[in-house]
Amino acid sequence: MRILRLLFVLLTAASCVKAPQETSTTAATPSPHAGPVRIGFSMDTLKEERWQRDKQLIEQRAKEVGAHLDVEVANGDDAVQTNQAENMLTKGVDVLIVAPHNGEIAASIVEAAHRKGVPVISYDRLIRNSDVDLYISHQVERIGEMQADYALKHVPKGNYVLIGGSPTDYNAILLRKGQMNILKPAVDRHDIKIISDQFAREWKAEEALRITEDALTRTGNKIQAIVASNDGTAGGAISALEAAGLAGKVLVTGQDAQKDAMQRIVKGTQTMTIYKPIKPLADNAVDAAMKLAQKQPVATTDKINNGKKDVPAILIAPIAVDKSNVDVTIKDGYHTHQDVYGQ
């Protein structure tokens, strides 16, 4: 395919020392046509606090490098996301960055883009079974391992509840894979028992609340740890624990280091979260988009199989946060002191 001939995405083996990122492009970089490079950013949602940061930081980086940026948000609707992406292609974007609502359905966006010779970057969530050009995310399977590792170190025995994210988001699957890498040996040793193992549709807190209530009812309140895949679902689980008078007594994991979760960690009702710095994600995505739009190579450090091919990837390291190190998010400028401590 033409796009494949034109693109030289440099792969370095995962075992290699992390390759230095290409230096950022600037407003002076030539665009493939008169005027600035045109980037389209197709987002699933702005529901979780983190996505608002993604949007703002992508906008900021696009401005810094002199790109023209279109952002569309589908609010969890696949048909809307597909239409919005098609509209951006019709308007003539040079490159698409897509955070898919449904990792399978979004393959059609890649096909439509490639028909026009437009490269596509899969952002945060993997677009499955497609010829997508690049994947930029955090180390998602590793996040699942970090959540489970933390839980197992602090609660080596007992009843566990696993609350996954949306089953249409491949991140939810990777997280569960990572969690089970760590938990399976403990299950096999009969140290822990997984008494509930479900996925919360659309990453909904209400679903997590219901899953937790069911688990509490079924075990007569005998739950020792809840491995919630993100902070939204952790919040739902904690509401159910609060109603049962168990908040702070059951270990609860999370992900995103969002403001309410940080406050729950300080208060003691949520035990940990995973902090994923968003700025390197956004900067890498925009910088790579500039290069792909200009048919230049992008240095990558990893690869991930999406069912169709090994997709070259840039994966950023996550950081586990509990009461002992909440300040990393403040030092990093992600939160203010007031965000975390309330005042």
Q: Which residues bind ligand BGC (CB under 6 A)?
A: 48, 50, 124-125, 165, 169, 171, 203, 230, 255-256
Q: Smallest distance from the beta carbon of 141 to ligand BGC, in angstroms?
A: 12
Q: Smallest distance from the beta carbon of 280 to ligand BGC, in angstroms?
A: 14
Q: Smallest distance from the beta carbon of 171 to ligand BGC, in angstroms?
A: 4
Tell me how many degrees the CA angle 213-217-221 measures, rounded to the nearest 5. Answer: 90
3-state secondary structure string, 141-192? HHHHHHHHHHHHHHCCCEEEEEEECCCCCHHHHHHHHHHHHHHHHHHHCCCE
Tell me how many degrees the CA angle 161-271-204 measures, rounded to the nearest 5. Answer: 55
Question: Pairing state of beta strands 134-138 and 95-98?
Answer: unpaired
How is residue 279 written in tokens?
A: 């700025």
Q: For the purposes of burial, counting CB atoms within 10 Å of the CB of 209, is it exposed (0-12), middle (13-18) or buried (19 or more)?
A: buried
Q: Smallest distance from the beta carbon of 282 to ligand BGC, in angstroms?
A: 13
Q: Smallest distance from the beta carbon of 37 to ligand BGC, in angstroms?
A: 26
> For ligand BGC, which is the closer residue by CB, 75 or 217?
75
Q: Smallest distance from the beta carbon of 169 to ligand BGC, in angstroms?
A: 5
Tell me how many degrees the CA angle 199-205-211 measures, rounded to the nearest 5. Answer: 50
> For ligand BGC, which is the closer residue by CB, 299 or 328?
328
Q: Smallest distance from the beta carbon of 200 to ligand BGC, in angstroms?
A: 10
Q: Smallest distance from the beta carbon of 222 to ligand BGC, in angstroms?
A: 28
How far apart CA 78 and CA 116 sit, in angstroms, is 21
Closest CA to 238 of 252, 217, 224: 252
Q: Smallest distance from the beta carbon of 135 to ligand BGC, in angstroms?
A: 12
How is residue 136 written in tokens?
A: 């930029």
> For ligand BGC, which is the closer residue by CB, 3 or 109?
109
Task: Give the Å distances, CA to CA, from 186 to 9, 158, 181, 190, 197.
Answer: 40, 10, 10, 6, 15
> For ligand BGC, which is the closer residue by CB, 24 or 45?
45
> For ligand BGC, which is the closer residue by CB, 84 or 230?
230
> For ligand BGC, which is the closer residue by CB, 66 or 76?
76
> For ligand BGC, which is the closer residue by CB, 51 or 293?
51
> For ligand BGC, which is the closer residue by CB, 36 or 178?
178
> For ligand BGC, which is the closer residue by CB, 37 or 172?
172
